[in-house]
Amino acid sequence: MVWDIFAVIGTIAFSLSGAVVAMEEDYDIFGVFILGFVTAFGGGAIRNLLIGYPAQLIWLQTPLFFTASLAITLIYIFPRLLRYWPKVEDVFDAIGLAAFAIQGALIAVHIDAQPIAIVMAALFTGIGGGIIRDILARRQPLVFRREVYAFWAVLGGICLLIPTVQESFWLQIGLLIFLLSCRLIAIHYKWQLPRRRWREIFPEKYE
């Protein structure tokens, strides 16, 4: 029941994110729905395959498919609702990242997965759908090029290794708010992880 709440939050946020990217790329209505669905459910499918959770269970999420369909349909019919999207896009994406990271980790906890599997479940549930979305939209995946992103999903998974957090719904809500806040602060202050620029290391290769 607990992870169902996080699943609904993440599904709405990521289905909207995928639908908007599809409309930005001028996809037809079929493409809008496909991109919305893969963004919302792609991370869960990857997680199930990685941790040994029955992959076919993804097709038993009828309420979530209905929720995603409704969100995408509303945005497609009433695109003017997105007039403020540039200002809220990062908020929706951050909500989806935090909610799905927690939900994925909780599923791994439920099947008594190893600690590393719990962290990886949080990571891939949080970022997997977005990676598939960006690849299908022919964009460089957001997770590899923007402010600190995937790190927050990993941090969520690490926090859920603590038994007290695993057992407390309110601590999980607090973790959701914490991860969401960290992501938005990272966006505001443009925090970035260290990177090595190949062109700067071997400039002669690009002369």
- The model's pLDDT over 94-111, given as tens digits with 9 standing for 90+, comes to 888 898 899 899 999 989
pLDDT band at 86; cut points 50, 70, 90: low
Residue 207's pLDDT is 65
pLDDT for 156-200, tens place per residue?
Answer: 999 999 999 999 989 999 999 999 999 889 888 888 887 777 777
Query: Tokens 């998974």, residue?
Result: 157
Question: What's the N-to-C CA distance of the chain in angstroms?
Answer: 58
pLDDT for 109-138, tens place per residue?
Answer: 989 999 999 999 999 999 998 889 989 988
C-alpha–C-alpha distance, residues 113 and 157, integer Å: 12
Query: Tokens 């029955």, residue?
Result: 54
C-alpha–C-alpha distance, residues 161 and 138, integer Å: 36
Cβ neighbours of 8 (radius 10 Å): 16
CA 146 to chain centre: 14
Helix, strand, coil % (nearest 5) of the chain?
80, 0, 20
Name the packing angle between helices 115-136 and 85-110 (round to 10°).
140
What is the pTM for the complete model shown? 0.83
pLDDT for 34-67, tens place per residue?
Answer: 999 999 999 888 898 888 888 777 788 888 999 9
